[in-house]
């Protein structure tokens, strides 16, 4: 299989509008899963689409041979919504290469990354007719909505999924050409609250001053989540937080992704955050309270002098070891209920959540991953944590009893979750090499 064919196949995969959060794309999800099953079958793997109460899981396996380790490679074929679509320079579902960079929704997160592993296995099989390890591919369709059905799937297929280690490429590299092993992730807990005041939008001249404005109360409750030091005010929020280790702070202090880079990548005029920590420490190892969406009252152009009847706030909390997501949601709910005035009615809906993750990067498997990264990129790998959440990593630990090697291929400016998501062709190629080396190193370990 030549390289152009590999890119063509990636493009086929990227063209599926597999937006898991939006029910209008339900059929696209099925079509995408079917396409993956067919691909795995062409490679000579046993592959099946498994129905779930939500979007299907794709499972593919090589013949399980004794005396060699079993490696489970996880990925997800679902993607984030594409809004605001007008800010894309090329259509999000029509992959476009500009200056050797692939632009498409899902190019980095996660189709480009997991498909590099698929092609690595295909190349090895074509070259040797066999693999150095037993391989299992588990590609789900609900990662962007919190993987609600994967945990039950792992549990009901635990014997079939038994393995020695999981490998995932869904995290970041600290910079171009800098191989990166991620040994920790933040957890997440989402919650939305809606405030209801008057039964209809009120004229702000006739009633203004005498009734509470749900949009104003929403602002007050949201603003009240932080103190002047940008610390979260929710009572008990920091009780379980483990402090950073000295060696971590020392390694990270040497990394190039400093404040200047973050300013450059994000375009913000100045960084911001919890007092007493560097920007990387805040992003990777400190918990947050973030408002992901707020809305209330008139949303159109110009002015409309109403007191809107309701307002909503979508919150998410990034968590670190040993904060428990359900415990944090309980604390947040109690905080909101305590501080919401009785001039409006509050409705709280808990959303998806998952725990943080931490593994030992100097374990046998951790060292094998470091060796594969070193060879694939010809450079000493960097050990980091990341600020995002991959709840499934904790599930692998809990249900299958194994660690997960996070071998990210995403660059800092990949625009995951944003317009113009992209993935360099060189990272796609490196991912294919990395897969081949990783399976070799793990077979030796």
Q: Which of residues 31-50 bind a second copy (CB under 8 A)?
A: none
Specify the DSSP class assigned to residue 399: I
CB of 422 to a second copy, least distance (A): 12
**226, 249, 397, 433: which one binds a second copy (CB under 8 A):** 226
User: Which of these ranges, 150-158, 269-277, 400-408, 422-430, lies near a second copy under the rule CB under 8 A?
Assistant: 269-277
394 belongs to the binding site for a second copy (CB under 8 A): no
184 belongs to the binding site for a second copy (CB under 8 A): no
Nearer to a second copy among residue 144 and residue 164 (C-beta) = 144
**52, 90, 251, 262: which one binds a second copy (CB under 8 A):** 262
218 belongs to the binding site for a second copy (CB under 8 A): yes
**210, 229, 243, 247: which one binds a second copy (CB under 8 A):** 210
User: Which of these ranges, 44-52, 159-167, 224-232, 323-331, lies near a second copy under the rule CB under 8 A?
Assistant: 224-232
Which residues inside 47-106 make contact with a second copy, applying CB under 8 A? Answer: 80-81, 83, 87
* Stretch (H or E) spanning 374: helix 364-377
Residues 421/107, Cβ–Cβ less than 8 Å = yes
338 belongs to the binding site for a second copy (CB under 8 A): no
Residue 261's CB is within 10 A of a number of other CB atoms, namely 16
* DSSP E strands, 13-133: 46-50, 57-61, 70-76, 96-98, 101-103
Helix residue ranges per DSSP H, 129-258:
150-156, 214-223, 246-253
User: Which of these ranges, 33-41, 56-64, 121-129, 272-280, lies near a second copy under the rule CB under 8 A?
Assistant: 272-280
| Residue in 392, 369, 195, 376 with CA at minimum distance from that of residue 295 | 195
Which residues inside 410-429 make contact with a second copy, applying CB under 8 A? Answer: 415-420
**224, 240, 324, 397: which one binds a second copy (CB under 8 A):** 224
Nearer to a second copy among residue 120 and residue 297 (C-beta) = 297
180 belongs to the binding site for a second copy (CB under 8 A): no
276 belongs to the binding site for a second copy (CB under 8 A): no
Nearer to a second copy among residue 60 and residue 320 (C-beta) = 320
Residues whose CB falls within 8 Å of the CB of residue 20, separated by 6 or more in sequence, listed in order? 29, 54, 55, 78, 79, 141, 142, 143, 144, 145
Residues whose CB falls within 8 Å of the CB of residue 259, separated by 6 or more in sequence, listed in order? 271, 279
CB of 11 to a second copy, least distance (A): 24
Question: Whole-angstrom Cα distance, residue 29 to residue 55?
Answer: 7
Question: Whole-angstrom Cα distance, residue 226 to residue 232?
Answer: 5
CB of 277 to a second copy, least distance (A): 8
Nearer to a second copy among residue 61 and residue 318 (C-beta) = 318
The token duo for 45 is 């793997």
Question: Whole-angstrom Cα distance, residue 86 to residue 444?
Answer: 50
| Residue in 287, 257, 284, 262 with CA at minimum distance from that of residue 272 | 262
222 belongs to the binding site for a second copy (CB under 8 A): yes
Which residues inside 277-336 make contact with a second copy, applying CB under 8 A? Answer: 279-280, 282-283, 286-288, 290-308, 311, 313-314, 316, 318
User: Which of these ranges, 5-13, 162-170, 187-195, 431-439, lies near a second copy under the rule CB under 8 A?
Assistant: 187-195
The token duo for 75 is 């990925």
Q: Which letter, b or e, does each residue of 314-349 get, where b requires 16 or more Cβ atoms within 10 Å of its Cβ?
A: bbbbbbbbebbbebbbebbbebbeeebeeebebeee
CB of 305 to a second copy, least distance (A): 5
CB of 130 to a second copy, least distance (A): 38
Nearer to a second copy among residue 212 and residue 240 (C-beta) = 212
Residues whose CB falls within 8 Å of the CB of residue 348, separated by 6 or more in sequence, listed in order? 191, 192, 193, 333, 336, 337
24 belongs to the binding site for a second copy (CB under 8 A): no
């Amino acid at each position: 299989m030549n390289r152009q064919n590999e890119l063509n196949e990636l493009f086929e995969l990227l063209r599926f509008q597999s937006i898991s959060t939006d029910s209008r794309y339900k059929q696209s999800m099925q079509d995408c899963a079917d396409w993956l099953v067919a691909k795995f079958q062409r490679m000579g793997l046993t592959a099946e689409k498994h129905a779930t109460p939500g979007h299907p899981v794709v499972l593919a396996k090589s013949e399980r041979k004794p005396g060699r380790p079993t490696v489970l490679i996880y990925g997800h074929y679902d993607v984030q919504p594409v809004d605001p679509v007008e800010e894309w320079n090329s259509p999000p579902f029509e992959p476009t290469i500009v200056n050797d960079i692939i632009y498409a929704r899902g190019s980095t997160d996660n189709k480009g990354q997991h498909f590099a592993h698929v092609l690595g296995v295909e190349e090895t099989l074509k070259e040797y007719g066999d693999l150095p390890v037993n391989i299992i591919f588990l590609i789900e369709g609900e990662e962007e909505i919190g993987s609600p059905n994967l945990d039950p799937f792992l549990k009901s297929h635990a014997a079939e999924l038994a393995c020695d280690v999981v490998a995932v490429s869904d995290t970041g590299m600290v910079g171009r050409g800098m191989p990166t092993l991620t040994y920790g992730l933040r957890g997440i807990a989402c919650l939305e609250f809606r405030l209801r005041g008057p039964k209809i939008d009120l004229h702000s001249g006739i009633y203004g001053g005498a009734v509470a404005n749900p949009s104003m109360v929403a602002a007050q409750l949201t603003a009240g989540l932080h103190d002047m030091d940008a610390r979260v005010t929710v009572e008990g929020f920091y009780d379980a937080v483990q402090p950073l280790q000295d060696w971590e702070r020392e390694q990270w202090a040497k990394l190039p992704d400093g404040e200047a880079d973050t300013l450059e990548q994000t375009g913000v005029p100045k960084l911001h955050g919890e007092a007493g920590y560097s920007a990387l420490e805040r992003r990777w190892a400190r918990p947050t309270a973030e408002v992901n969406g707020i809305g209330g009252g008139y949303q159109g152009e110009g002015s409309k002098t109403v007191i809107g009847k309701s307002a909503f706030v979508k919150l998410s909390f990034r968590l670190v070891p040993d904060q428990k997501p359900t415990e944090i949601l309980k604390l947040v709910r109690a905080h909101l209920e305590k501080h919401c005035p009785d001039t409006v009615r509050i409705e709280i809906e808990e959303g998806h959540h998952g725990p943080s993750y931490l593994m030992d990067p100097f374990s046998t498997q951790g060292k094998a991953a470091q060796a594969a990264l070193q060879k694939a990129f010809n450079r000493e790998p960097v050990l980091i944590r990341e600020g995002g959440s991959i709840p499934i990593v904790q599930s692998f630990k809990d249900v299958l009893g194994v660690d997960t090697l996070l071998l990210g291929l995403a660059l800092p400016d990949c625009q995951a979750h944003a317009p113009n998501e992209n993935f360099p062709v060189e990272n796609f190629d490196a991912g294919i090499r990395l897969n081949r080396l990783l399976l070799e190193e793990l077979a030796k370990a």
